[in-house]
Amino acid sequence: MPSRDVVEAFVRRLENGEFVEAIEQYYTADAATYENNAAPTVGRDNLVAKERGVLAAFKEVKAVRVGPSLIEGDNVASRWIFSFTNAEGVTRTLEEIAWQTWRGDKLIEERFYYDPKQLGR
């Protein structure tokens, strides 16, 4: 079960734009993430590579957590708003719920739930 301090430190990393560093520090080597119902991305190295690809595709990516994270045992739920600004300066926002499973102070699984139509607006 993660402590509130660990979850808050993880959130700060994301809100500071330290996305790759957050994965490297808080995810287990065998962690998996799921985008809605898509097949998972498995393994911290693969997650880092995927994140670097996303960051390279945009001029700026920002994350803001909405409200507190809810912690119950090994499960953590957080509501997020992400802003993606492309090279032309067009910003798209994505609101999502992240459902996480932790093993101690490390993330083992994370599922992102969002409406993909948001990115087309």
pLDDT tens readout for residues 31-77:
999 999 899 999 999 999 999 999 999 999 999 999 999 999 999 99
Q: What is the distance between the alpha carbons of residues 94 and 27, in angstroms, rounded to a whole number?
A: 23
**What share of the chain has pLDDT > 90, as a percent?**
94
pLDDT of the residue at 45: 98
Distances, alpha carbon 71 to alpha carbons 25, 56, 85, in Å: 19, 32, 31
**Cα atoms in the Cβ-side hemisphere of radius 13 Å centred on 15:** 12
Q: What is the distance between the alpha carbons of residues 95 and 19, in angstroms, rounded to a whole number?
A: 17
Does this model's pTM top 0.85? My answer is yes
Given pLDDT bands bounded at 50, 70 and 90, which one contains residue 8?
Answer: very high
Distances, alpha carbon 38 to alpha carbons 19, 91, 100, 113, in Å: 21, 24, 16, 11
Q: For residue 32, give every residue at least 6 positions away whose Cβ sits within 8 Å of its Cβ, in sequence order, or none.
A: 40, 41, 42, 43, 108, 109, 110
